Every structure is written in C-alpha cells, then in structure tokens.
C-alpha cells in the first residue's frame, strides 16, 4: 500500500484537509494484500468494459463499486477507492496494462472467480440496458484472456441476449 500512498502524495506530515482520503487509503491497508490485488485487478477489468465506449457513466461507476464491494467483501469506502484508482490507472495506462492485468487475474483467480467476473462484466456493460459493440468486443477480449470456456461464454451471452448489439429491443418510434 506504500505505493498507493506515494502515488497519491500522502505522507505522515499531510495537512488535515486530506484526512478523508488518508482514511480511505488506510482502510485498504487493513485488507490482506492478495485480496486487495484481486479486487484491484477485478475493478480494473470492469473498468476496461465500462470505458470501452469511451464514456464511463455515473451508473457504471456505481455498478462497479457495488460489484467490487459484493465480490470482494469490501466496505463501500474501500470499493469506491479501488474503483477510482482502477479507473484512473485504466485511463493512464490503458492498452499497455490491459493484457498484463488480465494475465495476472487469469493466473491468480479460480475458474469460479473468473466466471463471477464474467457475469459482472456483462452486468456493467448492460447497466444502460444495451451492450454496445465496443463493450461486447472488450468483454470477449477479456474472457479470451481469462480462458473462459466457449460453453460458459455462450451461456453468458444467452443470459444477456436482450442487451446484446443487434438483439436488444429498440424502443418503438410508433405513436
């Protein structure tokens, strides 16, 4: 966690005006390091899908925080900080880190954890009740990197078919 503090510019002599941020960073210090890395990777991969269409809506951000909180067993503040840092890193290092983060998640996660992430990727992408082509492409890219079995991918697509491009119902323009 020392790198997070350095990145944020926090040190023991920091002024009291930054206390809420310091409390959030200190909250992450209480998380077991392997679990914190898992949650950070999870959030980063969610951010890839949310940012695929070059717009991360407030609803997508809230959904990512809720998913990280639920899947990672974190508090709301911890999830908010992890999602915020993951989004910032995704914007800063995007293409460079995308493969590395997915590869690290693939090596460290169980297949059940990978499937949980896959369901969450679809959940974030469909938050606006439609999955864009860019979001679907990014989901497929991630799930290929995680080595999700084709049968599981098909089941996920079927479960989310009403949101998929070309299959989602478009609002009627009839009066």
Query: Does residue 125 lie within any of the structural domains?
Result: yes
In a domain, 168, yes or no: no
Picking from 41, 40, 67, the residue whose alpha carbon sits closest to that of residue 124 is 67
**Structure-token pair, residue 171:** 């609002």
Specify if 50 maps to a domain.
Answer: yes
Task: Please state, in angstroms and as integers, the Cα–Cα distance from residue 28 to each residue in 5, 38, 90, following that order.
Answer: 11, 13, 19
| Assigned domain for 172 exists | no
pLDDT tens-place string over residues 97-120: 888 889 999 999 999 999 999 999
- 128's CB contacts (< 8 A; 6+ apart) are 57, 59, 60
In the block, residue with structure tokens 């908010």? 80
**54's torsion region: left (phi>0), alpha (psi -120 to 50) or beta?**
left
In a domain, 3, yes or no: no
| Weakest-pLDDT range from 1-15, 52-66, 116-130, 141-155 | 1-15
Q: Is 22 exposed, middle or buried (0-12, 13-18, 19+ CB in 10 A)?
A: middle
φ/ψ of 8, rounded to 5, equals -85, -10
Q: How many CB atoms lie within 10 A of CB 37?
A: 14
Query: In terms of Cα–Cα distance, which of 158, 122, 156, 159 is closest to 139?
Result: 122
pTM of the entire structure? 0.75
Looking at the structure of the chain, the number of domains it has is 1
Position 1 scores a pLDDT of: 53
How many whole angstroms separate alpha carbon 39 and alpha carbon 52?
20
- CATH number of the domain at 133, please: 1.10.3680.10
Asked if 1 and 25 touch (Cβ cutoff 8 Å), the reply is yes
The confidence score (pLDDT) of residue 6 equals 54
Which is more confidently placed, 167 or 76? 76
Among 36-40, 65-69, 165-169, the range scoring the smallest mean pLDDT is 165-169
Q: Residue 34's pLDDT band (boundaries 50, 70, 90)?
A: confident
- Find the domain containing 36 and state its range: 18-163
Asked whether residue 169 is domain-assigned, the answer is no
Assess if residue 33 is contained within a domain: yes
The pLDDT of 67-85, averaged and rounded, is 83
In which band, very low, low, confident or very high, does the pLDDT at 133 lie, cut at 50, 70 and 90?
A: very high
What is the number of other CB atoms lying within 10 angstroms of the CB of residue 88? 12
Instruction: Spell out the residues 6+ positions from residue 71 whose beta carbon is closer than 8 angstroms to its own.
Output: 39, 42, 116, 117, 120
Q: Would 55 be classed as within a structural domain?
A: yes
């Amino acid at each position: 966690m020392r790198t997070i503090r350095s990145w944020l510019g926090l040190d023991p002599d920091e002024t009291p005006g930054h206390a809420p941020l310091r409390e959030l960073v200190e909250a992450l210090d209480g998380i077991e390091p392997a679990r914190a890395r898992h949650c950070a990777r999870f959030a980063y991969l969610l951010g890839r899908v949310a940012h695929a269409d070059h717009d991360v809506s407030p609803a997508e951000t809230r959904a990512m925080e809720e998913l990280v909180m639920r899947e990672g067993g974190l508090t709301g503040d911890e999830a908010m900080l992890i999602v915020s840092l993951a989004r910032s890193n995704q914007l800063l290092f995007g293409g460079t880190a995308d493969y590395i983060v997915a590869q690290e998640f693939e090596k460290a996660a169980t297949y059940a954890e990978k499937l949980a992430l896959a369901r969450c990727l679809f959940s974030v992408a469909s938050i606006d009740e439609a999955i864009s082509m860019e979001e679907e492409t990014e989901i497929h890219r991630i799930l290929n990197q995680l080595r999700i079995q084709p049968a599981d991918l098909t089941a996920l697509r079927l479960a989310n078919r009403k949101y998929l491009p070309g299959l989602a119902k478009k609002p009627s323009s009839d009066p």
